[in-house]
Chains A and B, each alone.
Chain A
């Protein structure tokens, strides 16, 4: 017993070293799953508040870009309103004075939650974005995040007042995309090299496309409705022996200047998920 204690004292530093390293390694490995601890993350209230303060200073320098984006989107929405009004006016004579309830298209069953980016990185392998809205504003895990340019990412962690988004610039996220013109789909993954480009996989060699073609969300997930722009084809190569194209995609969103985003709230989320689960559990 005495020898054991002497041994423990002699090697106490080594033992402590090994213990701490195992603990760190455990944290790293655990983080690769979906059950992540909210405590050691930037959605922790204390840390997020610090980020919010620092952002309130830095935000000032990006006001011009944010303004341009908003003005652009404003114009686009105004045009859309005018167009819809015209359509409505032209259809009114056909309707007569019937009072049928308006049928809402299934694709329209989404609403947006507006949020501000309070922390963002583009220079790491695993980039994350912190938003200033959380569960009390209606944000849920798995919601899609977009801005006026296109797809930003998916919500991965939520606390009461804050949430953390996994952006496209993180290899943990694969976004299902398709060509706007012919509907062939494949996942888009970031490779960790350049914040402007990502890679599109699984496009077979018989598919016809050209440089500059738009890639949009496929609408097969709960996170994004169909048709939101992800990026455009920037470059592609295919070897004689390859079955699939190697496609480089220019991302629509400029992640360096990200300041305001919209979180997509899919109103029928619960119902669709329950229905699909009940089928798969049978």
Chain B
């Protein structure tokens, strides 16, 4: 039913038409999955968590007051669920300095900066882990603002709505996240370069 509006779908679900919830899942699954991927970096976990987000949304649909867009409400659930998942997982902290020494010894190199096209870069598994680890190490608010901006390409206004802060704060969080990421990664790559020079 393409002409049916979101409030009508919600009303229908709340009046007992459970199957109408599928319309909302199909509409928003890609966006929620992407957000979960930003936090978890694992397809299987992200799929599980996306399911949890929708089940939770269904269970609490009656508490959705429709003062914000449904997508904003779903994003909030996804962000909270992802942060809770990360806290409960208690993943061992990956030390970038240790990684860099190991990688240097293993001959893992820096990507060639002469490339202008990002498609030309081949990413090793270790490099991917490095980026993920640097992202995981960001404070929660910076991480959320960065993920919503980079993974979901959301405008700052929408991110501000999801995080319930003003747009200026979002801008500041994204900038700080970028700076922190660069610091972590630069330290790692400089370490690799100097170690390889010694070798």
A joins B in a complex: no
Binding site for A on B (CB under 8 A): none
